[in-house]
């Protein structure tokens, strides 16, 4: 996960909001305080100036009234001089100039010592003219603040002087330095600004410390969430208190514990499912809702001869090779099994696929599960069963048809013919014996297929046993065939069922005699293979041989290379199949080699233990 920058962190946002709120509060307080303080200071300044004017106004009024009434004594100063004396010393830090004007707009005196030349001159101030005219004047007319050329602010106050009768007999014009008030306000605003900055700094520091108490548990929970996302549920969040955040930390720890238990349960179930899927003999394939493969077990990968990594996200129809016949929607609605035939020439391979829909309770389809079964052996067994039934039916039908034909002929009167009747009866007897042999062979195979089949084994000197059988065939042969035997000089004792092994050798030697030409030779050989712990027995003829493509099938039931000749010689096609079953029951192997036109050799092995030689000798 990407690291969060400081200016994007909740820590910074918390402190910023805290500082902005404090700054906003301080600003509102400062503006309100400064405005009211400014109004108060200006009001107090004006009041202080007004309080100074009241005694001056009284004195000036008395002087002007005395001058108007002519009651001034000889010792009294003239009016202008008297006014000048009164105005001396009025200038201060607050008062810049004070002028007294009579009713005729003539300046009687000024407190500015450097501007005495204006005494006796008419005033040019309009506000004074208004005051002397006796009109009703508003406060804005007589109480105004102006800005001088040097940038300082002044307050001009014009106060009319009235006689006891109410007539305006003069006016007092005052110019005061109100800039001092605003300078004080600037100092106060500076103090407020400095206080605001200091308070913001202190607030920021306190905000950082306070944010730590809130952000620290949240940061711990964030780190825990990152650790949990990687599958580690062992870590616990530290609880710093029992407030809402502390309760959240406790709840988070409980959630972590529950997630750990749930994850352990899920992991256990996943392992069980993985183990089940891995050891299933059936192949399992799962898809998403679009038909892409999301899971395939080893059995399915082996059946389809693909690797798990290459087939993930592949379309299941392409994977199964049914894309030309079925779409994914067809597979979703497929209720019957789908047979997948991957057979090649000489190598049958058939799979059966059953499909099941992965569906939510709402009916929404999440995907599809395909279960693959290898039915190659089953199909082969079914085919062999059908072929076996057909072969048995055919083998029985041929002699039965022959017997019925001859019996019908005898029933129609052929039995009266002294020459034909014996022939017909001989043929019927031959076919009956043939059916008996066939049924006996079938019963023999049935017994060997049974699980209860047992061999009556005994230790036998195989050289003597084999020689006796060869001698029996050599004495009873009707063909001019030469027998050539090559047996070891040493004694070879093997544990065999003599009856079953006699039947094996009878079947092999009988076949060799049947297919040997006149003047041919049969070779019998026994070799010891100590490395493999077995003896190898072989019977060779000089017959027509077996084609290479048919050689691997001669031990199958009812298989004949030359069917017409085999039936003519009375074979059932089960001799070598029975021999194979018996040799396998003895723990040996059987096979054949042949060169077409030169003959065939049948080999089989029997287990042999050389450690028993001393015991028998």
Over 70: is that where the pLDDT of 7 sits? no
Q: What 3-state DSSP class applies to 491? A: coil
Task: Report residue 538's pLDDT band, with 50, 70 and 90 as the boundaries.
Answer: very high
Q: Which pLDDT belongs to residue 138? A: 44
- Nearest CA to 290 among 325, 265, 316? 316
Greatest Cα-to-Cα distance within the chain, rounded to the nearest angstrom: 212
Residues 6+ apart with CB under 8 A from 161: 57, 60, 61, 64, 168, 169, 170, 171, 172
The rounded distance, in Å, linking the Cα atoms of 483 and 505 is 15
Q: Which pLDDT belongs to residue 613? A: 56
Tokens linked to 89: 């010393």
Over 70: is that where the pLDDT of 599 sits? yes
Q: What is the mean pLDDT of residues 459-467?
A: 91
The rounded distance, in Å, linking the Cα atoms of 290 and 367 is 7
Q: What 3-state DSSP class applies to 487? A: coil
Mind giving me the DSSP string for 68-84? HHT---SSSPPHHHHHH
DSSP letter (8 states) at residue 523: E
Strands 153-162 and 168-176: antiparallel
Contact at 8 Å (CB) between 105 and 123?
A: yes
Task: Report residue 421's pLDDT band, with 50, 70 and 90 as the boundaries.
Answer: confident
The rounded distance, in Å, linking the Cα atoms of 11 and 328 is 53
Q: Which fold has domain 458-616?
A: Heat Shock Protein 90 (3.30.565)
- Angle between helical axes of 10-69 and 179-229 (0-180°, round to 10): 170
Of 565 and 213, the one with more pLDDT: 213
Over 50: is that where the pLDDT of 140 sits? no
280 — phi, psi (to 5°)? -70, 135
Over 90: is that where the pLDDT of 524 sits? yes
What pLDDT digit, counting tens, does each position of 68-105 carry? 777 665 554 577 788 777 777 777 777 888 888 888 88
- Nearest CA to 368 among 290, 310, 302, 305? 290
Provide the CA 467 distance to its chain's centre, in angstroms.
74
Residues 6+ apart with CB under 8 A from 131: 137, 142, 158, 159, 160, 168, 171
Q: Which pLDDT belongs to residue 582? A: 85
Q: What is the mean pLDDT of residues 28-39?
A: 83
Cα 483 to Cα 42, 473, 476, 514, 590, distances in angstroms: 151, 9, 12, 14, 22
How many CA atoms does the CB half-sphere of 82 hold within 13 Å? 17
Exposure of 296 by Cβ count < 10 A (0-12 exposed, 13-18 middle, 19+ buried)?
Answer: buried
Q: What 3-state DSSP class applies to 37? A: helix
Contact at 8 Å (CB) between 428 and 403?
A: yes
Angle (CA) 167-168-174 rounded to 5° is 155
Q: Which fold has domain 280-374?
A: Beta-Lactamase (3.30.450)
Strands 482-486 and 521-529: parallel
Contact at 8 Å (CB) between 542 and 473?
A: no
Task: Report residue 135's pLDDT band, with 50, 70 and 90 as the boundaries.
Answer: low
* Global pTM value: 0.43
- Nearest CA to 240 among 222, 212, 213? 213
Q: Which of 61-70, 91-100, 145-154, 565-574 has the lowest mean pLDDT?
A: 565-574
Q: Which pLDDT belongs to residue 238? A: 78
The rounded distance, in Å, linking the Cα atoms of 312 and 286 is 10
- Nearest CA to 132 among 169, 107, 106? 169
Please provide the average confidence, as pLDDT, over all residues in the chain. Answer: 79
Q: Which pLDDT belongs to residue 536? A: 93
Contact at 8 Å (CB) between 340 and 353?
A: yes
Tokens linked to 405: 């034909």
Q: What is the mean pLDDT of residues 45-71?
A: 79
Contact at 8 Å (CB) between 528 and 489?
A: no
The rounded distance, in Å, linking the Cα atoms of 265 and 278 is 19
Helix (H) or strand (E) holding 511: helix 498-514
The rounded distance, in Å, linking the Cα atoms of 7 and 298 is 52
**From 3.30.365.10, 3.30.9.40, 1.10.3720.10, 1.10.287.130, which CATH number describes the 380-449 domain?**
1.10.287.130
Helix (H) or strand (E) holding 366: strand 365-374
Beta strands in 85-236 (DSSP E): 95-102, 107-110, 143-147, 153-162, 168-176
Q: Which pLDDT belongs to residue 72? A: 61
Cα 419 to Cα 64, 424, 426, distances in angstroms: 196, 9, 12
Q: What 3-state DSSP class applies to 512? A: helix
Q: Which pLDDT belongs to residue 601? A: 92
- What residues form DSSP beta bridges with 542? none
Contact at 8 Å (CB) between 512 and 539?
A: yes
Exposure of 439 by Cβ count < 10 A (0-12 exposed, 13-18 middle, 19+ buried)?
Answer: middle
Q: Which of 185-189, 582-586, 607-611 has the lowest mean pLDDT?
A: 607-611
DSSP letter (8 states) at residue 573: S
Beta strands in 215-292 (DSSP E): 283-287
Over 60: is that where the pLDDT of 43 sits? yes
Other beta carbons within 10 Å of 506: 15
Contact at 8 Å (CB) between 526 and 487?
A: yes
- Nearest CA to 543 among 593, 600, 505, 591? 600
Q: What is the mean pLDDT of residues 569-581?
A: 71
Of 444 and 537, the one with more pLDDT: 537
- Nearest CA to 507 among 571, 458, 558? 571
**Which CATH number does 8-185 carry?**
3.30.450.20
What pLDDT digit, counting tens, does each position of 215-251 carry? 777 777 778 788 877 777 777 777 877 777 778 888 8
């Amino acid at each position: 996960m990407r690291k969060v920058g400081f200016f994007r962190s909740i820590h910074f946002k918390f402190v910023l909001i805290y500082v902005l709120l404090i700054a906003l509060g301080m600003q509102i307080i400062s503006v309100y305080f400064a405005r009211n303080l400014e109004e108060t200071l200006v009001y107090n300044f004006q009041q202080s100036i007004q309080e100074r004017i009241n005694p001056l106004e009284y004195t000036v009024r008395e002087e002007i009234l005395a001058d108007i009434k002519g009651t001034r004594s000889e010792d009294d100063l003239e009016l202008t001089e008297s006014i000048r004396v009164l105005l001396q010393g009025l200038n201060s830090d607050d008062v810049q100039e004070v002028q007294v004007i009579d009713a005729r707009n003539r300046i009687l005196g000024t407190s500015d010592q450097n501007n005495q030349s204006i005494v006796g001159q008419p005033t040019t101030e309009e506000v004074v003219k208004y005051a002397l005219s006796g009109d009703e004047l508003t406060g804005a007319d007589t109480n105004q603040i102006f800005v001088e050329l040097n940038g300082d602010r002044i307050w001009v106050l014009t106060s009319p002087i009235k006689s006891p009768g109410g007539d305006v007999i003069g006016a007092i014009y005052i110019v005061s330095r109100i800039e001092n008030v605003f300078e004080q306000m600037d100092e106060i605003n500076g103090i407020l600004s400095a206080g605001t900055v200091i308070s913001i700094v202190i607030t920021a520091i306190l905000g950082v410390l306070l944010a730590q108490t809130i952000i620290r548990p949240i940061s711990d929970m964030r780190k825990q969430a990152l650790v949990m996302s990687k599958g580690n549920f062992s870590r616990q969040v530290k609880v710093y208190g029992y407030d809402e955040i502390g309760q959240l930390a406790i709840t988070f720890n409980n959630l972590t514990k529950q997630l750990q238990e749930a994850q352990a349960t899920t992991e256990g179930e996943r392992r069980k499912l993985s183990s089940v899927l891995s050891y299933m003999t059936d192949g399992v394939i799962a898809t998403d809702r679009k038909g892409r493969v999301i899971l395939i077990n080893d059995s399915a990968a082996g059946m389809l001869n693909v690797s798990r990594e290459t087939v993930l996200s592949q379309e299941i129809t392409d994977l199964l090779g049914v894309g030309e016949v079925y779409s994914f929607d067809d597979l979703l609605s497929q209720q019957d099994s789908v047979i997948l035939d991957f057979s090649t020439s000489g190598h049958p391979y058939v799979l059966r696929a059953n499909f099941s829909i992965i569906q939510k309770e709402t009916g929404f389809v999440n995907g599809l599960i395909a279960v693959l079964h290898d039915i190659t052996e089953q199909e082969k067994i079914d085919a062999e069963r059908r072929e076996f039934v057909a072969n048995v039916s055919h083998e029985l039908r041929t002699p039965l048809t022959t017997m019925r034909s001859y019996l019908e002929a005898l029933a129609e009167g052929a039995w009266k013919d002294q020459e034909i009747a014996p022939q017909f009866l001989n043929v019927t007897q031959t076919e009956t014996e043939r059916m008996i042999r066939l049924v006996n062979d079938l019963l023999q195979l049935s017994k060997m297929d049974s699980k209860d089949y047992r061999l009556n084994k005994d230790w036998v000197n195989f050289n003597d046993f084999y020689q006796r059988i060869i001698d029996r065939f050599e004495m009873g042969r009707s063909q001019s065939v030469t027998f050539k035997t090559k047996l070891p000089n040493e004694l070879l004792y093997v544990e065999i069922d003599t009856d079953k092994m006699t039947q094996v050798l009878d079947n092999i030697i009988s076949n060799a005699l049947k297919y040997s030409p006149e003047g041919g030779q049969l070779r019998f050989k026994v070799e010891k293979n100590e490395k493999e712990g077995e003896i190898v027995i072989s019977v060779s003829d000089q017959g027509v041989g077996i084609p290479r493509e048919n050689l691997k099938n001669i031990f199958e039931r009812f298989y004949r290379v030359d069917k017409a000749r085999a039936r003519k010689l009375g074979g059932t096609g089960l001799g070598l199949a029975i021999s194979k079953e018996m040799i396998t029951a003895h723990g040996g192997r059987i096979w054949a080699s042949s060169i077409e036109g030169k003959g065939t050799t049948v080999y089989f092995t029997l287990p042999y233990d050389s450690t028993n030689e001393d015991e028998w000798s």
